[in-house]
Structure 1
Amino acid sequence: MDAKIKVYESECVDCRSCMKGCPMLYSFTISPKKLLTKFTTELPSSEMAYACANCGLCAHSCPRDIDFGAIFTASKKSYAEDKKVLKKYGYGGVIFHQKSSFSKLFSTTKKFTTGEYTHTAFMPGCALSSYSPSLVHTVFSYLQSKCSGMGIIQQCCGTPTRMMGDMAQFQMYHSQLERDLAYMGATTVVTACENCFMSLKTYSPHIKIISLYSLLAQIGLPEEAKERHIHSPKMALHDPCPTRYEKEIHEGVRTLLAQIGLPYQEFKQNREQTLCCGSGGMLELTHAALAKEQMRTRAKQTECESIVSYCQSCAESMSRGGKNGVHLLDLIFNPHFLMKQEEQSVLKKWYNRFSSRQKISALKDNT
């Protein structure tokens, strides 16, 4: 990385394109080139490293492909070797979350023995399971009706640990996830979470990863969902930053919105140019004020009162930012959805995850 930073320093023209829309760079500098010069002799401060949302916007915006996110990610890995530093940025909360997520109380698998898709597993992700066990169950039931034999896994992808830079612990969690998938005989995973999609795509290249939204665009929606929202108020569509370059997902989501008839408008910065919602990189834990500021900033970039996303964390961030954040899956699969998510406590979310696990465990094999 040191050699790479020197290349970055020589390439940087100090145009500040990387700073436009970044949640944190303006808090630490007015000259990216001077910052890079500093980094050639010393690590970014831990405060700066853990203020990075890892959203990838800087690298996308830079005309010279300079990636500050990669620098901060490498720095986090170095700082993660010192548990005192990690503790300073709330790592205790991450440890609790991850240990609980991988425990038998909140994780489970269910494989099926007959059908054309016994090699495929649906992975809803932590946030969606925490939000609505019934929605997870409804989505999975529909998937099974179209893809017989598909299994389901309630498990974390380990992204919170990875975002803190603790790669040794992340590898342990990721290995557990791979063992669970191997037990299921799953060579293909359908993800509802954008972090899960990218984590598996990056660290398990031998497994085929499909976005739920791409799959739904292919197999079609329930008849009762089509044109259900043609009379709904217009919403703004927020694209999550982890799947910034996944054009197939972008197109799939817009196909689904067209099928349900939802009037929507695009953010000025959308698709590969999208902005972080404020929850990326564990920012709510490491720099809560910065996260809140970014949530408000993104939410204010549309005149629409409601913002739809296909990431539950993004939907919650838009609500915290002052707008009404909703999840695309509610619009498709929940005919009783009142166009507003119920605010939930942390305890309620863990209870939901337990309930989701119980629903999955109660499923019967289709033999």
Structure 2
Amino acid sequence: MKISDKIIKIINEEEEKCIGCKLCMNGCPMLDKFCDSPKELLKELKCNGEFDYILPYSCMLCGYCTKVCPKGVDLKNLFLELRRDVVNQSNGKLARNLNTNGVDLHQKLSFSNLFTSNIQNLQSDTIFFPGCGLLSYSPKIVEDTYRYLRTKIGGIGIYTKCCGKPTAFMGKDEKFKEYYSILEKEFRDKNIKRIITGCQNCFMTIGNNSKDIEVISLWEVLANVGIPEEKIGIGKSINVEFTIHDPCPTRDIDIIHSSIRQIVDELGFKIDEMEYNKGKTLCCGSGGMVSVTQNHVSEAHTIRRAQEAKTEYIITYCQECVESMRRGGKKSYHILDLLFTEGFQNMEQKNQGVITKWTNRYKGKNIGK
């Protein structure tokens, strides 16, 4: 596909910055599939003026490359722009082998009245936005979390729609704007001033697109108000040691990293840290919808990431990461499982199927009614 003049300019800028140190390739899931160094890749793209559409849809858009780059080379932005180019040149009809029809259907349903509701049970200017992934994982822990938040934050409402990030990361900007305008209207109509997010993607997406609203992570809130009293110290009587996996979307949000560790400490569990953690965490393998568009790249990286944990058990705070770590061969739990699921250690370590997830979404839309 032809590279637009706008993106040629971005490539030139990034190639000038790149010193060919290849630090980014130590943790990147996909660069070694396309080049021996990013500088070589950037030069090739510039000289050819064309690109294979598979390239940008192999990037997990996790931002690790920029985090470790001494010159701040931003391949995430470049590959996202290339995705937008693919969408524009194909009139939004992406190649069949990218398998994106399921993403389009997911997004359509995630803004439908069948599986979502408008803001419910609101008597303030603050809402809980759990995110579609967490709702599909367990409407029960979403409801239990919301009930607990109601005891700490008077009048907090709940909103069960999706943030639209899958559409944005597919490169479909206009469709994303259409979806996000639904959220904006509801925020405006209900005079929302503060949003507590249970999903890292929602935290970033809403924070970047609703600048007039305070967006705060559920983890920071729980660290501030405290966990349920009956859960304090439960880990001391459970012979389990966890490794923490930090989701990549919020790699730059230090308060989230520290809040999670404070919560786990209050629970009383022993924890181990991965070599690549916090700001330098690696993607679980599902970032950028690569588990859909280039599943073999996703699977290989998921196994690598899971096996970096020295313990059998992994704790994380993203539904997609929970499932990825299980696919990678580990016993994985969402931190909300530890807080709101009795006997969590006996949970079946099997990822749910599509029908079960949509059934959960259907149940979840009634929370707060």
In structure 2, how many angstroms separate the alpha carbons of the residues matched to 1:178 and 1:110? 12
- How far does residue 43 in structure 1 lie from its aligned partner after superposition? 4.3
Q: How does 1:2-81 map to 2 (within 5 A)?
A: 2-41=8-47, 42-81=49-88
In structure 2, how many angstroms separate the alpha carbons of the residues matched to 1:212 and 1:296? 28
In structure 1, how many angstroms separate the alpha carbons of the residues matched to 2:149 and 2:51? 46
Selected match of 1:154 from 145, 154, 160: 160
- How far does residue 240 in structure 1 lie from its aligned partner after superposition? 0.3
3-state DSSP of counterpart to 2:159:
strand
In structure 1, how many angstroms separate the alpha carbons of the residues matched to 2:357 and 2:225? 31
Selected match of 1:325 from 327, 332, 345: 332
The one-letter code sitting in structure 1 at the alignment partner of 2:340 is: F
In structure 1, how many angstroms separate the alpha carbons of the residues matched to 2:13 and 2:139? 49
Distance 1:339 1:241, change over 3 A: farther
Q: Does 1:269 align with 2:310?
A: no
In structure 2, how many angstroms separate the alpha carbons of the residues matched to 1:5 and 1:45? 15
Contact 1:309 1:327 in 2 (8 A): yes
Contact 1:244 1:274 in 2 (8 A): yes
If the length of structure 1 is used for normalisation, what is the TM-score? 0.94
3-state DSSP of counterpart to 1:338:
helix
Selected match of 2:260 from 236, 253, 264: 253
Contact 1:240 1:310 in 2 (8 A): yes
Q: Does 1:96 align with 2:102?
A: no
Distance 1:148 1:43, change over 3 A: farther
- How far does residue 334 in structure 1 lie from its aligned partner after superposition? 1.6
- How far does residue 5 in structure 1 lie from its aligned partner after superposition? 2.0
In structure 1, how many angstroms separate the alpha carbons of the residues matched to 2:367 and 2:37? 53
- How far does residue 7 in structure 1 lie from its aligned partner after superposition? 2.6
Q: Does 1:213 align with 2:222?
A: no
In structure 2, how many angstroms separate the alpha carbons of the residues matched to 1:89 and 1:342? 26
Matched residue, 2:356: 348
Q: How does 1:188-267 map to 2 (within 5 A)?
A: 188-230=194-236, 231-267=238-274
The one-letter code sitting in structure 2 at the alignment partner of 1:138 is: D
Matched residue, 2:143: 137
Query: Which stretch shows the higher mean deviation, 84-93 or 205-214?
Result: 84-93
Selected match of 1:167 from 151, 165, 173: 173
The one-letter code sitting in structure 1 at the alignment partner of 2:214 is: K
RMSD, aligned α-carbons: 1.4
The one-letter code sitting in structure 1 at the alignment partner of 2:239 is: S
If the length of structure 2 is used for normalisation, what is the TM-score? 0.94
- How far does residue 180 in structure 1 lie from its aligned partner after superposition? 2.1
- How far does residue 270 in structure 1 lie from its aligned partner after superposition? 0.3
Percent identity, aligned pairs only, is 37
In structure 1, how many angstroms separate the alpha carbons of the residues matched to 2:268 and 2:45? 50
In structure 1, how many angstroms separate the alpha carbons of the residues matched to 2:153 and 2:117? 20
The one-letter code sitting in structure 1 at the alignment partner of 2:103 is: V
Contact 2:122 2:157 in 1 (8 A): no
Contact 2:57 2:294 in 1 (8 A): yes
In structure 1, how many angstroms separate the alpha carbons of the residues matched to 2:50 and 2:160? 38
In structure 1, how many angstroms separate the alpha carbons of the residues matched to 2:174 and 2:70? 34
3-state DSSP of counterpart to 1:47:
coil
The one-letter code sitting in structure 2 at the alignment partner of 1:144 is: R
Matched residue, 2:134: 128
Matched residue, 2:3: none
- How far does residue 95 in structure 1 lie from its aligned partner after superposition? 1.1
Length, aligned pairs only: 358
Matched residue, 2:344: 337
The one-letter code sitting in structure 1 at the alignment partner of 2:159 is: I
Selected match of 1:85 from 94, 100, 104: 94
Matched residue, 1:182: 188
Query: Which stretch shows the higher mean deviation, 181-190 or 65-74?
Result: 181-190
The one-letter code sitting in structure 1 at the alignment partner of 2:108 is: K
In structure 2, how many angstroms separate the alpha carbons of the residues matched to 1:265 and 1:294? 21
- How far does residue 243 in structure 1 lie from its aligned partner after superposition? 0.1
Contact 1:111 1:150 in 2 (8 A): no
In the alignment, structure 1 segments of 5+ residues that lack a partner are none
> For each residue in 1:280-332, what CA deviation from the matched residue of structure 2 results, as whole angstroms up to 9, or x when unmatched?
00011100111111110000101211110011110110001111111001101
Q: Does 1:358 align with 2:366?
A: yes
Contact 2:119 2:186 in 1 (8 A): no
In structure 2, how many angstroms separate the alpha carbons of the residues matched to 1:305 and 1:273? 22
- How far does residue 168 in structure 1 lie from its aligned partner after superposition? 0.4
Matched residue, 2:311: 304
- How far does residue 73 in structure 1 lie from its aligned partner after superposition? 0.6
In structure 1, how many angstroms separate the alpha carbons of the residues matched to 2:10 and 2:104? 32
- How far does residue 94 in structure 1 lie from its aligned partner after superposition? 1.1
Distance 1:184 1:43, change over 3 A: farther
Matched residue, 2:292: 285
In structure 2, how many angstroms separate the alpha carbons of the residues matched to 1:297 and 1:130? 26
3-state DSSP of counterpart to 1:46:
coil
In structure 2, how many angstroms separate the alpha carbons of the residues matched to 1:273 and 1:113? 38
